[in-house]
Amino acid sequence: MWGKDGDYTVNSCMLALERIRYAGSTTYVTNVWKSICPPKTEMTLWLALNEGLCTRAFLVKRHVLSPQEDRCPFCEQHSETVSHILLHCQVVWKLWNKIVAWRGLSWVMPYGLDDLQCQWLGLLQGNHCKFERSVWGGFMFSIIWTIWNARNNLIFEDQKPIWEDILWLLFYFAAGWIRNLNSSFWYTGADLYRNHECISAWSA
């Protein structure tokens, strides 16, 4: 698809496809393409929202794995669907709750990833500037990207996740992506981890 300037972009193509697929309905899939984070991270979330990630449940449906091989690699108790591995698994859910609590917020478990995306920005009530909302949206990308990488490292590299380290890595990614939004943002991931109000103080 070609944009207004006549150049082809993946973003314009994706938006056109989503308008066709979800004609007449409300969708949050198009909100993925906001250039908050690297394209590969946006693609991961887009695939997740479209049930396109190669989870074990996905591979069972395509007869790559047997039905007995669909267990979540983290908890080994439930089928590894997209919503389970990225949101509902008990160890993953604790990670989400830590980030929400870090921001001084509370929430209920979303039904799925589309519900998560709808609810996430709604958690940030009050008078927050566009930059703060973009940063908060970026944290959702960071969490999903970090969880999916931890899952792949466990399966393909036999690296058991150390969740406290993964939490630090999440803030490291987030700080880097915030600097991509504004190169003058000088706080590190450790600064963010210690105090979320540095974002508000910087954008004031």
pLDDT in tens, 58-99: 999 999 999 999 999 999 999 999 999 999 999 999 999 999
- What integer pLDDT is reported at residue 118 of this predicted model? 82
Burial 2-12 (b: 16+ CB within 10 A, else e): eeeeeeeeebe
CA angle 147, 48, 191 (to 5 degrees): 35
- Residue 41: which residues within 8 A CB-CB, separation 6 or more? 141, 142, 144, 145
pLDDT tens per residue across span 107-155? 989 999 888 988 887 887 776 777 788 888 888 888 999 999 999 999 9
d(CA 180, CA 178): 5
With a CB cutoff of 8 Å and minimum separation 6, the contacts of 25 are: none
Q: Name the phi and psi angles at 79, rounded to 5.
A: -65, 135
Cβ neighbours around 152 below 10 Å, total: 13
* Tens-place pLDDT, residues 34-57: 667 788 888 898 899 888 999 999
